[in-house]
Structure 1
Amino acid sequence: MPIETRLHAEGLAWPESPRWRDDVLYISDVHNFRIAKLSADGGVETLCKVEGRPAGMDFTEDGSLLLATGIGRQLFSVDPATGVMDLKASLPPVESSYLNDLVVHPDGWAWFGETGFRFGLDTPQENGSLWAYHPQKGLKQVATDIFFPNGLVVSPDGATLYVAETFGKRISVFDIGADGSLNNRRIHAELRGEPDGLSLDAEGCLWVPLLFLGEFVRIAPDGREIETIGFPGMNAIACMGSGEDRKTLFLCVCKADRSNPQKPILSGQIHVALPDSAGVGRPR
């Protein structure tokens, strides 16, 4: 039986990196250059404007948001109450490579992707990377040759990192080291489309948006596709099993009119579904 969905919010541009805390859904509204807050009834307000263009973000143990800026190539701590941004780290300027999705481990390490090329502007290359950041231990590159790293998920036991390699059409996994290192890289699933922001559930399945196909697919632990939620004519961007009991699946989509490539018209929405299995792991 198909999973039913309902519209929760609209008025966004390109909604990425959904994160939940204290009955509020936080969204990296990428092409509106802001972090948005969504109330329980779907009301949208701006938490802060982000000049360097917001990308991945996640809550740290102290309750702040750790944010990567795509073009600015910086990490900020953001106060979720006031929107005040505090610079934590910077990567050297590279015009042709943006920062992307981000996840925080309970032990304080965070990982974020560097794309390796600019989507829509450069020839796709398998030269992206993953970086690790810790507020006391600094910043380091921990994986290379990633084909446009995107959604990141940490397993409930904290031992495994899942990575969406968008233009590789695959999900890869790493073993997580105590020092933030990533080891034993292997392919978890080969996909029929390009994956974006991931969510893991209590049965060990991944919800995966297939960006250009307008579908969210549920991938079993053995890599099989077992369920689908479709949004025809839209981009499927990110998802998160969240809410108070983590039984609400938030689905980020966008209808993109690119008839003028220099000024695309982006109409982003958040939908919700109630799957049988709750979300687990990080982010949440």
Structure 2
Amino acid sequence: MGQSATRQPTVVAEGFSYLECPRWHDGRLWVSDFYTEKVVAIDGHGDTDVVAEVPAQPSGLGFLPDGRLLVVSMRDHRLLVRDESGELTEYADLSGVVSGVLNDMVVDERGRAWVGNFGFDLMGGAAVRYTTLTRVDPDGSVSVAAEDLGFPNGMVLLPGNVLVVAETFAGRLTAFDIGEDGELSGRRVWAQFGETPQTDDVGEAVQQLEVAPDGICADAEGAIWVADAVHNRVIRVQEGGKILDEISPGTGVFACMLGGEDGRTLFLCAAPSFPEHERRPVREAQLLSVDVEVPHAGLP
């Protein structure tokens, strides 16, 4: 593994509830703080600006071709859009095709959004159930893009119109080709980490996962940085599953994003754990950063 295995991240900002879905945009890192129901933008000095308040809990973020921000509103199954004045309005209602709490999202250069969902009541202790990926087109129309995904979570768009989805409870990254019409085809395993758990018990599944891929981002060599939600680390993986690098900051890492002026700053969304009842009442989440050699590529 690379030198960064021994590199300790530094704290960029702290005092959050639970950070997810970081996006480097326009010189700042935009990120959702789940349980304060805020989207914040953080500059390189740690100065924080609240850019949106989402009462039904913000998650996935993405930017439309015209620069407007799309925000996943988790609990009411909606996509919201933020205009230049900062006002949020409904962009699409996903409740007709999605029953579970919405999750992460990636937006492509044409303004198409792919949105994951939990598929089951994770925080309520329900059994693991596989679920769908939803596509929202620029005209606001909503459709099922893929089925039978094991907790679709972070996503990246690689060159050649390839969508890679982190399936947290399947322990893998799954790739699709995106057609001109937005249809997905050519489904394949991009990286498999150990055996996929064959249990529907969340606790057992977590114990069995060698990697629980959460938030992900891609670099200019075609590798993907993966936040491993149950092993307090972020790993750099090439297609086929070989782990090239690992950074272990000594706390939970649930999402990552390459940014900074040269694209070589790896931002980590860190917290001691992920259960809502542990994170909601406290402000222990941090945004960390570490310098890496290969810069950002792809989307987000």
TM-score, normalized by length of structure 2? 0.87
Matched, 1:231 2:249: yes
Q: Which residue of 1 aligns with 2:189?
A: 187
CA RMSD of aligned residues (A): 2.2
| Per-residue Cα deviation, 1:212-267 (whole angstroms, up to 9, x for no partner) | 211001112231112110022x2211111112221111111112497966965351
Does residue 270 (structure 1) correspond to residue 274 (structure 2)? The answer is no
Q: Which moved more, 1:262-271 or 1:114-123?
A: 262-271
Of 136-145 and 250-259, the range deviating more from structure 2: 250-259
Matches within 5 A, 1:76-155: 76-79=80-83, 82-92=85-95, 97-136=100-139, 138-155=141-158
| 2:57 paired residue among 53, 56, 68 | 53
Q: How many residues align?
A: 280
Deviations 1:145-186 (A, max 9, x none): 1111100100033x1001000111111111111112111211
Residue equivalent to 2:48: 44
Q: 1:49 to 1:274 in 2, by over 3 A?
A: same
Alpha carbons 1:247, 1:275 under 8 Å: kept? yes
Are 1:257 and 1:265, in contact at CA under 8 Å, matched by a contact in 2?
Answer: no
Query: Matches of 1:258 and 1:155 in 2, distance apart?
Result: 31
Residues 260 and 278 (structure 1), Cα distance of their counterparts in 2 relative to 1, 3 Å cut: closer
One-letter identity of the residue aligned with 1:254:
A
User: Which structure 1 residue ranges, 5 or more long, are not aligned?
Assistant: none
Q: 3-state DSSP class of the match of 1:196? A: strand
Q: Structure 2 counterpart of 1:246, which letter?
A: G
1:33 aligns with 2:33: no
Q: Does the aligned pair in 2 maintain the 1:129–1:145 contact within 8 Å?
A: yes
Q: Is the 8 A contact 2:97 2:144 kept in 1?
A: no
For residue 13 of structure 1, what is the aligned residue in structure 2?
17
Q: Which amino acid aligns with 1:248?
A: T
Distance 1:126 1:228, change over 3 A: same
Q: Return the letter of the residue paired with 1:112.
A: V
Aligned to 1:246: 263
Determine which structure has greater relative contact order: mean sequence separation of CA pairs < 8 Å that are 6+ residues apart, divided by chain length: 2
The aligned amino acid for 2:173 is I
- What one-letter code is carried by the residue in structure 1 that aligns with 2:184? L
Distance 1:264 1:94, change over 3 A: farther
- Rate the CA distance shift 1:266–1:258 in 2: closer, same or farther, 3 A: farther
- Paired residues of 2:18 and 2:279 also in contact (CA < 8 A): no
Higher share of residues assigned strand: 1
Q: Aligned partners of 1:99 and 1:262: how far apart in 2?
A: 18
Residue 63 in 1 paired to residue 67 in 2? yes
1:30-72 Cα distance to aligned partner (Å, 9 max, x none): 1111101212210223222101110101111111111111111
**Residue 214 (1) aligns with residue 232 (2):** yes
- 1:256–1:265 CA contact under 8 A, matched in 2: no
Moved more, 2-11 or 51-60: 2-11
Q: TM-score, normalised by structure 1?
A: 0.92
Please give the alpha-carbon distance, in whole angstroms, between the structure 2 residues aligned to 1:110 and 1:262.
28
